[in-house]
């Protein structure tokens, strides 16, 4: 609770009682430093490290404060990420916070002893204390740093961001980088500076990167050396279109070799910044656990990428949920094959710190590199979209190595074909299937495995594992609902509805798009746009994205089901099925198929294979053999294929009196 110094202490005390009574919580209002609301100051917190001094009372401040109080708590205005700093605390972690009554009659309080805003930053503090001398990051032959060293580097990066570039609470710091150690460190360093980390997809081109830089309002832009050409071209586009030089982010290069800071504005170097950082810096802990921690853009599979805001509380909870869902016990060795730019690496930069594990970083990988690295470092956990699993199971025998022990693999991001899951298990991997969206901090459900299923035949096990399952421990609820009535669909494995979520690991919102935010959460549930059924045992199974479902002769066809069958054909490497417009049927399934190297299959053969295994109306009527266009998160860009199928025109020709050809 912050109160204006303009008020008498008795009025302040009265207001405090009122607020506590009305909201049953203590409201942290604003920090008053470095913001236009300077006059609104923290009355009951003080922080000796921040050089706080009594400001002059000011009417505008008092008015702003009054209007804040009259605004219901959940609706306080939060217009932009930087304006969130308005609500931030001066205090460190509230050590000098006075005791506040939560319910005086019941004798309960909220104070530093029993409350700290949840944040994944606390994981690295603990890791440095508990696992200080153990390896935290391994990269290439030479790079190996302990948890104490990594934590120290993160604090120095935070100090440099604040001191060199004036990064303040709520500012956005953008990064374009593969999974190198700096990318890992920035997941802690940027929030330690009180700022918001925004990671870009490494396959984006300069126009897209410049659009996202502008949209995010990033103040600093860190670019790994192999992507500098994209980063520089993006900045040039902004410079060409902007008259205000201050709105062009500062470029910092991340390179493998410890470089020197040349001091030239456009030429900062990550390692140089660490070397020249001020030695003392107080981590800017979030004042409010709902303060933003990261800004993630969606994969752009169905439309242009949308900016999704995560908060500290959600990130903390989702990390715990994911670590538990994925059986990450203390001191794992985690291989970084999931891009950290995708939903913050499914929250495992924070998750590996939580369990004091070793992060094996990789810039690029092939199946051979994966097998080699697993063997060399004794990898216990890794993750990947189904395309990565596909790469592993199709690796030539010469590239494979025996696994040193059980390697747990978390897969998600797209529907995993049951056949691929079965092959992975045959190779000795233990696969965990998760499902979620950028809007749910990545992982939101897990196909919880029941021990009695171990005894089932391989194909049946894979079929069960391909289901998306239940919400993980940190998500309150996942359901399949009819979006018109918001009623849950019956648990019969047949009625199709939309997957919806509610809970603490649903995004804060779409950045700068309150209309889209409200729409996405209409009725108190996050609407996913994914269509699914619920089986009698409660497990959710995705059938399609709403945009991908094929409607043929009035029957719904799940493209995922047809793809699963095509995938099980021995000659097929990848498959995607989309709707082809049809004058008679409305739509018919059209399959795009990539064959394995050297394999041969004809259109008639693929269609026949499907007709033997599926109701005939579900079998593709057209098969096209070609490479599939992908997003950088490994998803097939079905909108591109749909366009191609549309261009083919109708397969059935109506020749009059409704007779067809
Ligand atoms: N395990 C899974 N099984 C099936 N589909 C999945 C799974 N995990 C994720 N998905 C799909 O990925 C979607 C979430 O993807 P993400 O948030 O990365 O961006 P996107 O939805 O692909 O991009 P955009 O929203 O920009 O079109 C889900 O809505 C779902 O359709």
pLDDT at 262 over 90: no
Q: Which fold has domain 548-648?
A: GMP Synthetase; Chain A, domain 3 (3.30.300)
User: Could you tell me the distance, in angstroms and rounded to a whole number, from the CA of residue 642 to the centre of ligand 1?
Assistant: 17
Q: How far is the CA of 593 from the centre of ligand 1 (A)?
A: 21
Structural element, H or E, at residue 101: strand 100-103
In whole angstroms, how far apart are CA 653 and each of 551, 555, 587?
Answer: 18, 20, 13
Q: Which tens digits make up the pLDDT trace of 394-443? A: 999 999 999 999 999 999 998 899 999 999 999 999 999 999 999 999 99
Q: What is the DSSP string of 423-475?
A: HHHHTTEEEEEEEEEGGGTEEEEE-PPPGGGGGS-HHHHHHHHTS-BEE-TTS
Bridge partner list, 110: 100
* Residue 295 φ/ψ, nearest 5 degrees: -125, 115
pLDDT of 367 over the 90 cut: yes
Percent of the chain whose pLDDT exceeds 70: 81
Question: Which residues are 221's β-sheet partners?
Answer: 174, 251
Q: Report pLDDT for 379.
A: 97
Q: By the 8 A CB rule, do 653 and 661 touch?
A: yes
CA of 545 relative to ligand 1 center, distance in Å: 8
Q: Ligand 1 centroid vs 494 CA: distance in angstroms?
A: 22
In terms of residues, how long is the chain? 661
CA of 548 to the centre of ligand 1 (A): 12
Which ligand 1 atom is nearest residue 342's CA?
18
Distance (Å, rounded) from C-alpha 131 to C-alpha 295? 29
Model confidence at 105: pLDDT above 90? no
d(CA 163, ligand 1 centre) in Å: 39
Could you tell me the pLDDT band of residue 86, with boundaries at 50, 70 and 90?
Answer: very low
Candidates 340, 356, 422; CA nearest to 389 is 422
User: What's the CA-to-centroid distance between 315 and ligand 1, angstroms?
Assistant: 19
Distance (Å, rounded) from C-alpha 441 to C-alpha 443? Answer: 6
Cβ < 6 Å from ligand 1: which residues? 298-303, 305-306, 412-415, 433, 435-438, 468, 528, 530, 542, 545, 633, 635
Q: What is the pTM assigned to this prediction? A: 0.81
Buried/exposed code over 366-389 (b: 16+ C-beta within 10 A; e: otherwise): ebeebbebbeebebbbbbbbbbbb
Average pLDDT, stretch 336-355? 97
d(CA 423, CA 464): 14
Probe target for ligand 1 pocket from 212, 309, 325, 413, with the most ligand atoms within 8 Å of CB? 413
Q: Kindly state the average pLDDT of the residues 389-395.
A: 93
Q: Buried (b) or exposed (e) across 213-225, using 16+ Cβ within 10 A?
A: bbbbbbbbbbbbb
**For residues 383 and 408, is the Cβ–Cβ distance under 8 A?**
no
State how far the alpha carbon of 93 is from the alpha carbons of 31, 97, 112, in Å.
Answer: 14, 9, 7
As annotated, the residues of the chain forming the CATH 3.30.300.30 domain(s) are 548-648
Q: Please tell me the distance between residue 414's alpha carbon and the centre of ligand 1 in angstroms.
A: 6
Would you place residue 57 in the very low, low, confident or very high pLDDT band (cuts 50, 70, 90)? very low
3-state class (DSSP) for residue 285: coil
200 has a pLDDT exceeding 80: yes
Distance 103 CA to ligand 1 centre (A): 43
Stated as kind and residue range, the H or E segment containing 644 is helix 638-648
Can you give the pLDDT at residue 96?
54
pLDDT of residue 242: 79
Which protein residue has the closest C-alpha to ligand 1 atom 13?
A: 437
> pLDDT for 155-175, tens place per residue?
999 999 999 999 999 999 999
pLDDT, residue 657, reads 55
Of 354, 360, 346, 361, the residue nearest 329 (C-alpha)? 354
Cα torsion 124, 334, 317, 512: sign: positive
ipTM tops the 0.90 cut:
yes
Q: Which protein residue has the closest C-alpha to ligand 1 atom 26?
A: 300
Instruction: Select, from the ranges 126-130, 561-565, 578-582, the one with the highest average predicted confidence (pLDDT).
Output: 126-130
Q: Which of 435, 498, 516, 637 gets mutated to test ligand 1 (max ligand atoms within 8 A of its CB)?
A: 435
* Ligand 1 site-directed mutation target among 212, 326, 438, 447, most atoms within 8 Å of CB: 438
| Atom of ligand 1 at shortest range from CA of 560 | 4
């Amino acid at each position: 609770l912050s109160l204006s110094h303009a008020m008498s202490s008795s009025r302040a005390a009265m207001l405090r009682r009122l607020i506590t009574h009305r909201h049953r919580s203590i409201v942290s209002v604003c920090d008053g430093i470095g913001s236009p609301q300077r006059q609104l100051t923290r009355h009951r917190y003080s922080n000796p490290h921040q050089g706080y001094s009594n400001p002059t009372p000011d009417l505008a401040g008092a008015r702003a404060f009054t209007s804040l109080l009259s605004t219901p708590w959940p609706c306080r205005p939060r217009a932009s990420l930087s304006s969130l700093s308005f609500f931030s605390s001066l205090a460190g972690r509230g050590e000098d916070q006075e005791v506040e009554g939560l319910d005086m009659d019941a004798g309960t309080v909220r104070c530093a002893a029993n409350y700290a805003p949840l944040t994944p930053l606390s994981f690295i503090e603990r890791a440095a204390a508990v696992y200080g001398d153990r390896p935290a990051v391994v990269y290439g032959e030479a790079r190996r740093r302990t948890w104490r060293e990594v934590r120290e580097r993160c604090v120095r990066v935070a100090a440099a961001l604040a001191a060199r570039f004036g990064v303040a609470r709520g500012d956005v710091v953008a990064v374009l980088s593969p999974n190198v150690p700096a990318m890992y460190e920035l997941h802690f360093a940027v929030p330690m500076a009180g700022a918001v980390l925004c990671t870009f997809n490494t396959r984006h081109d300069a126009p897209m990167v410049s659009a996202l830089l502008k949209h995010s309002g990033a103040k600093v832009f860190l670019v790994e050396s192999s992507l500098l050409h994209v980063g520089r071209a993006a900045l040039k586009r902004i410079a060409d279109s902007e008259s205000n030089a201050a709105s062009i982010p500062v470029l910092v290069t991340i390179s493998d070799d410890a470089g020197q800071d040349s001091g030239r504005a456009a030429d900062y170097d990550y390692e140089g910044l660490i070397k020249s950082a001020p030695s003392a810096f107080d981590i800017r802990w979030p004042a409010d656990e709902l303060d933003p921690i990261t800004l993630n853009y969606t994969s752009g599979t169905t439309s242009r990428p949308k900016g999704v805001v995560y908060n500290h509380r959600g990130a903390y909870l989702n990390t715990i949920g994911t670590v538990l869902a994925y059986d990450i016990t203390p001191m794992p060795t985690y291989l970084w094959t999931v891009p950290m730019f995708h939903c913050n690496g499914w929250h495992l930069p924070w998750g590996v710190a939580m369990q004091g594990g070793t992060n094996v970083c990789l810039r690029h990988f092939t199946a051979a590199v994966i097998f080699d690295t697993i063997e060399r470092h004794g990898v216990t956990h890794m993750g990947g979209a189904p395309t990565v699993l596909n790469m592993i199971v199709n690796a030539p025998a010469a590239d494979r190595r025996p696994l040193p022990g059980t390697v747990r693999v978390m897969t998600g991001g797209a529907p995993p074909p049951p056949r691929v899951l079965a092959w992975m298990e045959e190779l000795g991997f233990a696969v965990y299937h998760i499902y979620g969206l950028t809007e749910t901090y990545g992982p939101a459900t897990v196909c919880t495995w029941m021990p009695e299923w171990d005894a089932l035949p391989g194909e049946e096990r894979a079929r069960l594992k391909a289901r998306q399952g239940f919400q993980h421990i940190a998500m309150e609820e996942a359901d399949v609902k009819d979006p018109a009535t918001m009623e849950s669909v019956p648990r019969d494995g047949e009625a199709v509805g939309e997957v919806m979520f509610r809970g603490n690991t649903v995004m804060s919102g779409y950045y700068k798009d309150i209309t889209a935010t409200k729409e996405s959460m209409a009725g108190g549930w996050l609407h996913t746009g994914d269509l699914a059924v619920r089986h009698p045992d409660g497990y959710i199974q995705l059938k399609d994205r709403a945009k991908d479902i094929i409607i043929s002769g009035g029957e719904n066809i799940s493209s995922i089901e047809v793809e699963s069958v095509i995938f099980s054909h021995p000659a097929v490497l990848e498959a995607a099925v989309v709707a082809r417009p049809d004058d008679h049927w409305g739509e018919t399934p059209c399959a795009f198929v990539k064959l394995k190297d050297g394999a041969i299959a004809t259109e008639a053969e693929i269609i026949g294979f499907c007709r033997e295994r599926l109701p005939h109306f579900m079998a593709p009527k057209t098969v096209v053999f070609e490479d599939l266009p992908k997003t950088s998160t490994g998803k097939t860009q079905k909108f591109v294929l749909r366009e191609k199928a549309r261009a083919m025109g109708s397969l059935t020709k109506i020749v009059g009196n409704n007779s067809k050809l």
